[in-house]
Amino acid sequence: MIRKIKYSILIVLAVMLGTSCEKWLDLKPEDGIIRQNFWKTKEDVKSSVIGCYSSLFATTQTLFLWGEIRGDMITSTLRSSAEQTEIMNGNILSSNSITNWRVIYKTINYCNTVIDFAPDVLKTDQTFKEEDLNGYLAEVRTLRALMYFNLLRSFGEVPLKLTATASDADLVQLEKSSQQDVYDQIVADLAFAEQYAPLTYGVREQDKGRITRYAVYALQADVYLWMENYTDCITACDKVINSNQFGLIAGRIPNEDNTDSIPNPQWFNTVFYVGNSNESIFEFQYDNQILNPFYNLVISSNRQFTGSTFVMDEMYTIDLLDDTKKDIRGDLASIRSSDMVIWKYAGANNTGSMRSQTTSYAHWFVYRYPDILLMKAEALAWTSQGHAALNIVKEIRDRANALAATERSPDPSSASEISDYIMEERAREFAFEGKRWYDILRNAKRNDYANLQYMIDIITKIAPADRQQSMINKYMDVRSHYLPINLYELQTDKNLVQNPFYQ
């Protein structure tokens, strides 16, 4: 259903919420279409909700760049833009277009529009039930929470806009809200969604491509982990785990005579090429009619990024004595070892065939079941349950046939040691899924930056020799860990104040 109507919904939204160039949240009616004439039926509400999902496609490249470009797992190529290499070299300017948050706020405004106008349809369509309304509101409030969560982790403090910008009369000059205020709103949105989001839509693609209650739990767990509220993080994770609706796709299967196991030849295809596997919780649903942005980013001969050499050499490693022994998430899964192509989006199979431009529709993976397990492990480590945390890490590693060279033996009583180990495992599990920089930042800033050296060690490793000391000095200032507010936003909203490091 999503795939059949998402294109027409974009057209509806373009008419209903035409974008002016005057302001970053200026979305108003055009061509004589009156907004009030649209919000009349339950079909109008349904179309607008699906339109919110369609708007997510424009955010994928931004989410990839924000989550990866300052980390250590991707590297530039001769085709990388000057703006991309500047950020990778620690030279982040407010004029850099990568810092533009417009596409994120556009999705937020679409969600706000549904939240503001959908309740009125109860008065005009007697077949539209409050239960249905609350279900739709749960979806868009979760999407709004997800967008604000990404903004918060990227900029530190951002404007909190909770009403729709529908006309010139709605234009406002916004100040930044505090981190706590934004977190409070995210938590409130998710509390509402937890109550009303459906457990299932009855169709697999919708269960993986729309917000279910399990996606709400996953986002709650992530938010609580960032808030260092470990007890509530564990509770949210357990709601997913105890549902028995998800599981890890086996990385190895028994051989023909059941005497040994062999790599599962369908693992890559099941999890990444096709998507919507049993371990999927929420994915952006690309297909052959809506292509993702990765062809130019990582696939074509003009690709802008490849994986860092350390990804294979140190993160996954190889067994020089037996090439059948390998971490199934490594070569020809996350990366192609021969040339460091980012295989998770480029690969058509696990034997070396690459996607063409017309088949570049790998999904964007927001949450998978391994994320739930590793978030719980991290929270367990910080609640003095180190043994339980390490058992989860072992479960993840056993499933992937992780090699002995990457195994660690942290002290079960040391939350910091276990967390560092979990970060390594998260890097292997979620390579290039837009999580690496945020994992580095979360692990460094915990307990008032008690582990800042973790980030500095990574910066030292990836910095160009002639910029190493400069980058270290910058990242020692914790204010530099967030992006600057884009220059255009400062020029058009006089109430915005630049983030301190960039003033």
Please state the length of the chain.
Answer: 503
Q: Give which of 462, 416, 418, 414 is closest to 437, Cα–Cα.
A: 462
pLDDT band at residue 263 using 50, 70 and 90 as cut-offs: confident
One-letter amino acid at 224 equals Y
**Helix H or strand E encompassing 187:** helix 179-196
The residues facing 28 across adjacent strands are 18
Instruction: Give yes or no: residues 289 and 146 share one domain.
Output: no
- Each residue of 159-174: b (16+ CB within 10 Å) or e? bbbeebbbeeebbeeb
Q: Give which of 391, 438, 433 is closest to 410, Cα–Cα.
A: 391
Instruction: Give yes or no: residues 186 and 282 share one domain.
Output: no
For residue 28, pLDDT beyond 70: no
Residue 473: the pLDDT is: 97
Residue range 146-154: mean pLDDT, rounded: 98
Tracing tokens 């009855």 back to the chain, one arrives at 202
Instruction: Give yes or no: residues 26 and 160 share one domain.
Output: yes
Alpha-carbon torsion angle 310, 156, 145, 492, nearest 10: -120
For residue 7, pLDDT beyond 90: no
In this structure, what token pair is assigned to residue 106? 């556009």
User: Which DSSP string corresponds to 57-98?
Assistant: GGGHHHHHHHHHTTSSSEEE-TTS-HHHHHHHTT---TT-GG
Quote the CA–CA distance of 391 and 452 in Å, as a whole number. Answer: 27
Instruction: Give yes or no: residues 13 and 157 share one domain.
Output: yes
Quote the CA–CA distance of 266 and 249 in Å, as a whole number. Answer: 10
The residues facing 27 across adjacent strands are 19
pLDDT band at residue 36 using 50, 70 and 90 as cut-offs: low
Q: Are 91 and 466 in contact (CB under 8 A)?
A: no
Residue range 7-11: mean pLDDT, rounded: 40
Instruction: Give yes or no: residues 390 and 495 share one domain.
Output: no
CATH number at residue 249: 1.25.40.390
For residue 71, pLDDT beyond 80: yes
The residues facing 254 across adjacent strands are 261
For the chain, the C-alpha Rg in angstroms (whole number) is 23
Distances (CA, A) of 194 to 136, 189, 214, 220, 387: 12, 9, 9, 9, 30
Instruction: Give yes or no: residues 183 and 303 share one domain.
Output: no
Q: Are 223 and 186 in contact (CB under 8 A)?
A: yes
Q: Are 359 and 348 in contact (CB under 8 A)?
A: yes
For residue 15, pLDDT beyond 90: no
Domain assignment present for residue 216? The answer is no
Residue range 415-437: mean pLDDT, rounded: 98
Quote the CA–CA distance of 408 and 421 in Å, as a whole number. Answer: 7
Residue at a domain's end among 431, 451, 468 = 431
pLDDT digits (tens, 9 = 90+) for 308-336: 999 999 999 998 888 778 999 999 999 99
For residue 126, pLDDT beyond 90: yes
Alpha-carbon torsion angle 28, 29, 34, 38, nearest 10: -90
User: Which DSSP string corresponds to 206-256?
Assistant: HHHHS--HHHHHHHHHHHHHHTT-HHHHHHHHHHHHTTT---PPPSEEE-T
In this structure, what token pair is assigned to residue 147? 């967008």
pLDDT band at residue 8 using 50, 70 and 90 as cut-offs: very low
Q: Are 112 and 161 in contact (CB under 8 A)?
A: yes
Quote the CA–CA distance of 408 and 385 in Å, as a whole number. Answer: 17
Quote the CA–CA distance of 283 and 496 in Å, as a whole number. Answer: 33
For residue 113, pLDDT beyond 60: yes
Domain of 23?
A: 2-75+88-197+485-502
What are φ and ψ of residue 64, in 5° steps?
-60, -50
More confident residue, 253 or 377: 377
Residue 260: the pLDDT is: 81
Quote the CA–CA distance of 361 and 274 in Å, as a whole number. Answer: 9
Instruction: Give yes or no: residues 147 and 49 share one domain.
Output: yes
Residue range 426-436: mean pLDDT, rounded: 98
Quote the CA–CA distance of 293 and 88 in Å, as a whole number. Answer: 20
Domain assignment present for residue 82? The answer is no
Q: What is the Cβ-side half-sphere exposure of residue 151, based on CA atoms within 13 angstroms?
A: 29
For residue 169, pLDDT beyond 70: no
What are φ and ψ of residue 253, in 5° steps?
-130, 160
Instruction: Give yes or no: residues 130 and 193 share one domain.
Output: yes
Residue at a domain's end among 386, 416, 431 = 431
Quote the CA–CA distance of 410 and 422 in Å, as a whole number. Answer: 10
Among 31-35, 162-166, 473-477, 492-496, the range scoring the smallest mean pLDDT is 31-35
User: Which DSSP string corresponds to 386-455?
Assistant: HHHHHHHHHHHHHHHT--GGG-----TT-HHHHHHHHHHHHHHHTTTSS-HHHHHHHHHHHHHHTTHHHH
Residue range 150-176: mean pLDDT, rounded: 87
Domain assignment present for residue 281? The answer is yes
DSSP 485: P
Quote the CA–CA distance of 479 and 502 in Å, as a whole number. Answer: 9
For residue 337, pLDDT beyond 80: yes
For residue 29, pLDDT beyond 70: no
Instruction: Give yes or no: residues 402 and 304 share one domain.
Output: yes
pLDDT digits (tens, 9 = 90+) for 225-261: 999 999 999 999 999 999 999 999 999 888 888 878 8
Domain assignment present for residue 440? The answer is no
Domain assignment present for residue 179? The answer is yes
Tracing tokens 């945020």 back to the chain, one arrives at 438
For residue 24, pLDDT beyond 60: no
Residue 172: the pLDDT is: 77
Domain assignment present for residue 356? The answer is yes
> pTM of whole model > 0.85?
yes
Residue 324: the pLDDT is: 75
Instruction: Give yes or no: residues 180 and 290 share one domain.
Output: no
Spatial neighbors of 3 by CB under 8 A, at least 6 apart, are 205, 285, 287, 289, 290
Looking at the structure of the chain, the number of domains it has is 2
Looking at every residue in the chain, the average pLDDT score rounds to 92
Instruction: Give yes or no: residues 352 and 425 share one domain.
Output: yes
pLDDT band at residue 372 using 50, 70 and 90 as cut-offs: very high
Domain assignment present for residue 62? The answer is yes
Instruction: Give yes or no: residues 244 and 333 share one domain.
Output: yes
Domain assignment present for residue 217? The answer is no
pLDDT band at residue 171 using 50, 70 and 90 as cut-offs: low
